[in-house]
Structure formats: C-alpha cells, structure tokens
Amino acid sequence: MPAVMPAFKTMPPLASADDVFRSAFRINRAIEQLQKSFFNFCPGETWTPPVNLYETESEYVLCVDLAGVEKDKIDLSIEAGILRLRGRRSVPRWPEVPGEAPPQHLRVHLMEIDHGPFSRSIELPRDVDSSRITAVHNNGLLWIRLPKK
C-alpha cells in the first residue's frame, strides 16, 4: 500500500524584501516616536537644532532650523573659536481662529516637535573672520554667514 502524503495547506507567498524592510522601518519609527514623544512631554535637557553647512570661495554659510523660535529668543555668541547658539522654543500653541473658541480639553497623541531650551556649538574653521559674521532670521531658518579671511 503506498504511503499517503499529508495534505499541505497553501502558504501565502513570502513577503518581499521591500515589505520586510518597510515593516522593520515602521516598527523602528514607531519606537522612536514613542520614546521621543515621552521625553518631549517632560523635556529635562536641551535639544539640538539641525544645521546645514555650505561653503563658497569667500564664505561658509550655516543654516539652522529654528521653526517656531522667535528672533528675540535666539542668542548667538563666539567664544574661543566656537560659535554658540542658544535659545528656547515654546510648545506650539493652538492656532487662534476668529469667532472660534480654542478647545477646552486637548489630548496629545504624538509630540515630535522639540521644545524647551536648545543649544548648539560649532567649532569655526580657522579661516573665518569672526569680526564680519552676520545672521538673518527668515521663515524659521537662521542663516549665519561666516566670511573667510
């Protein structure tokens, strides 16, 4: 009598590598958001604003992302070849709409926007003429021009 092979159920196709990476990315992103959200509800230390640094033949240009930070809340100083940027960003406020009362109760589900005090220190290249540094605050970006000697 021939051996009877057990019936196999049809298995769904294996996930593609893209699906696996997308799932892993989503899980990692969710964990990062949970951790960041938890710590941002009760910030205890300073946050560090992101920067871009550009160079031309005559100068370096530093662009600092300070969305939501008022110009008068930014302190820029140079000490011993170090550019120090300090300030504070408030928690974003609910937008006011004329004729509409703000919500009485607001439940926060996610809070990724850093708030509270911030600090960033950048060592200046030796060829920067620190006496000619200028800064412009425009649309939430701080542009710092660092002319070369």
SS3 133: coil
Would you say residue 73 has pLDDT above 80?
yes
* pLDDT value of position 94: 86
Compute the C-alpha angle 34/35/39, nearest 5°.
Answer: 115
Contact 89, 69 (CB under 8 A): yes
Residue 138 structural domain: 51-92+114-147
Q: What is the pLDDT of residue 135?
A: 96
The set of residues, in sequence order, having a beta carbon less than 8 Å from that of 123 and lying 6+ positions away, is 81, 82, 83
Asked if residue 72 and residue 118 are part of one domain, the reply reads yes
Task: Give domain status of residue 100, yes or no.
Answer: no
pLDDT the model gives residue 60: 95
Q: Are 66 and 113 in contact (CB under 8 A)?
A: no
Asked whether residue 11 is domain-assigned, the answer is no
Do 118 and 78 fall within a single domain? yes
Least confident residue range of 10-14, 54-58, 77-81, 83-87: 10-14
Q: Given this model, what pLDDT does residue 68 score?
A: 93
Cβ proximity of 130 and 82 under 8 Å: no
Q: Is residue 109 part of a domain?
A: no
Mean pLDDT computed over 119-148: 95
CATH number at residue 56: 2.60.40.790
The structural domain count of the chain equals: 2
Same domain, 68 and 136: yes
Which pLDDT does position 18 carry in this prediction? 53
| Cα–Cα nearest to 106, from 93, 88, 89 | 93
d(CA 45, CA 49): 13
Q: Verify that 77 and 55 share a domain, yes or no.
A: yes
In this prediction, residue 98 has a pLDDT band, given cuts at 50, 70 and 90, of: very high
